[in-house]
């Protein structure tokens, strides 16, 4: 049975009617970190959680997964007995969950809806149609409104709003967690560690990528201290005076394995300008001459 976007199922009672708005649902095979076999469950993305039901008609869910503990999401290229099936690995703080969608298109849609709810931002790295991207935009708007109504005194988290103090390292990028992973994966020769805004809009984060039978991403929170400076929030917090010290500390503690992400943006080799044709008004792009312009002749000195 195909997944259904943005549909709220109404029942005569039970837990389903009390759930947050449902953005996407369909059958997925799920295997948790402590489960030996996968189970085929009707899965509903409601608010910021996944709810699992034994079938599409049940009103009471059998399991709930809060996406607040999200770490990463990646494709699993291992083969399945169903050749059309497409696998995903959802990594949470307390372990990995393996999900199997009926086909590649369904997997891409699930990724789109999950990223939209987690990052509150429409992902730009997925292969989706314009209509599907519009659905994701509507989900982002609805989830922002839902969270705003639950916390009226607090602005919804934004991956692009964070106060930055002091000199900013060159590896800083104003991107979301998902976009950071895409950048690091697309440009492995430019470094494997970048600094970005945190999800809560009040902290920063460092995203890293390394290869271990595929891409392995890690995310570290960096918070600003009241008394000045920053701290890397790991088991044994690492205090740093500046953001540059944050990056240097990670390079030093990994013996240079982590390196700042420095993407050289291309620059133009010629000067171009747009001008309008005097006769028909058509605007044309021109390339300025590369040779030095001739100097105007010098005026003769004034006679005393």
pLDDT tens digits in sequence order for the chain, 304 residues long: 445 554 444 443 346 778 889 999 999 999 988 888 899 999 999 999 999 999 988 888 999 999 888 888 888 877 666 677 889 999 888 889 999 999 989 999 999 999 999 888 888 778 888 889 899 999 999 998 888 877 655 444 444 444 555 678 999 998 888 888 888 988 899 999 999 988 766 789 999 999 988 889 999 999 988 888 899 999 899 999 999 999 999 999 999 999 999 987 666 777 877 777 767 667 777 777 776 655 666 666 666 5
How far apart, in whole angstroms, are the C-alpha atoms of residue 234 and residue 120? 25
DSSP E strand stretches across the chain: 4-5, 22-31, 39-46, 49-53, 63-66, 70-76, 86-92, 95-101, 193-197, 204-211, 215-224, 230-232, 238-240, 272-276, 283-287
Cβ proximity of 159 and 120 under 8 Å: yes
Joined together, the tokens standing for residue 81 give 């007995």
Q: E strands within 57-151?
A: 63-66, 70-76, 86-92, 95-101
pLDDT of 205: 93
Domain with CATH 2.30.29.30 in the chain: 15-148
pLDDT number for residue 155: 44
Per-residue pLDDT, 70: 86
CA dist., res. 44 & res. 23, Å (int) = 8
> What region, left, alpha or beta, does residue 236 occupy, with left being phi > 0 and alpha being psi -120 to 50 degrees?
beta
Partnered with residue 27 across adjacent β-strands are 42
- CATH 3.30.505.10 segments of the chain: 175-252
CATH top-level class of 15-148:
mainly beta
**CA 102 to CA 159: how far, in whole Å?**
31
Closest CA to 59 of 9, 6, 7, 110: 9
Region for residue 245 given its phi and psi (left: phi exceeds 0; alpha: psi -120 to 50; beta: otherwise): alpha
What's the CATH superfamily of 175-252? SH2 domain (3.30.505.10)
Q: Is the dihedral of CA 246, 165, 68, 122 positive or negative?
A: negative
Supply 55's token pair: 């079938």
For 175, 225, 259, 301, the CA distances from 249, given in Å and listed in that order, are 22, 17, 11, 64
Query: Which pTM value belongs to this model?
Result: 0.54
Q: Is the dihedral of CA 126, 132, 135, 141 positive or negative?
A: positive
- Residue 255, pLDDT score: 94
pLDDT at 39: 93
């Amino acid at each position: 049975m195909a997944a259904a976007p943005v549909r709220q199922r109404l029942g005569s009672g039970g837990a389903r009617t009390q759930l947050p708005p449902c953005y996407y649902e369909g059958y997925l095979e799920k295997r948790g970190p402590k489960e030996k076999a996968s189970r085929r469950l009707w899965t509903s993305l409601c608010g910021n959680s996944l709810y699992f039901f034994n079938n599409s008609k049940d009103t009471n869910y059998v399991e709930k997964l809060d996406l607040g503990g999200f770490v990463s999401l990646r494709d699993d290229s291992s083969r399945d007995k169903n050749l059309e099936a497409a696998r995903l690995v959802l990594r949470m703080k307390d372990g990995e969950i393996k999900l199997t969608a009926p086909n590649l298109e369904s997997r891409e849609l699930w990724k789109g809806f999950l990223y939209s709810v987690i990052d509150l931002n429409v992902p730009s790295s997925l292969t989706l149609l314009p209509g599907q991207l519009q659905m994701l935009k509507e989900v982002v708007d609805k989830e922002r409104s839902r969270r705003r109504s639950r916390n009226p005194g607090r602005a919804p988290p934004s991956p692009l709003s964070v106060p930055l103090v002091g000199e900013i390292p060159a590896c800083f990028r104003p991107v979301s967690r998902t976009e950071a992973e895409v950048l690091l994966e697309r440009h492995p020769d430019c470094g494997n560690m970048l600094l970005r805004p945190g999800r809560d809009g009040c902290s920063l984060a460092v995203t890293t990528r390394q290869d271990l039978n595929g891409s392995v991403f890690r995310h570290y929170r960096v918070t600003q201290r009241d008394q000045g400076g920053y701290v890397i929030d790991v088991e044994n917090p690492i205090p740093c005076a500046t953001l540059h010290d944050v990056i240097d500390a990670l390079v030093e503690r990994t013996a240079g394995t982590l390196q700042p992400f420095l993407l050289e943006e291309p620059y133009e080799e010629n000067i171009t300008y747009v001008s309008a044709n005097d006769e028909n008004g058509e605007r044309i792009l021109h390339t300025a001459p590369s040779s030095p312009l001739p100097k105007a002749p010098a005026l003769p000195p004034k006679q005393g």
